[in-house]
Amino acid sequence: MSGFVCPHCKKVVDIFKRGGGEKMAGEMGVPFLGSIPIEPLIVEASDNGKPFIYHYGKTLAAEAFAKAIKPILGMTRK
């Protein structure tokens, strides 16, 4: 998780420290896939059974999800 995306002004507010996940990934020798902003629309979409990235693809969170899954999809293709 990374910062909270305000649903009113869309400003990202860092409510947690930054860099901990990336540091841990480095220490464990695993790839760091990225940080996903805390986005209230993820909850809304999930509660309504909507695929978040499809319906809210232009949000910061959707962009972060798309960036994070690229290495995973690349690993599964032969």
- Whole-number pLDDT of residue 75: 67
Task: List the chain domain ranges.
Answer: 4-76
pLDDT tens-digit profile of 16-66? 888 888 999 999 999 999 988 888 889 899 999 999 989 999 998 999 999
For tokens 């693809």, what's the residue? Answer: 57
**What is the C-alpha separation between 51 and 72, in angstroms, rounded?**
19
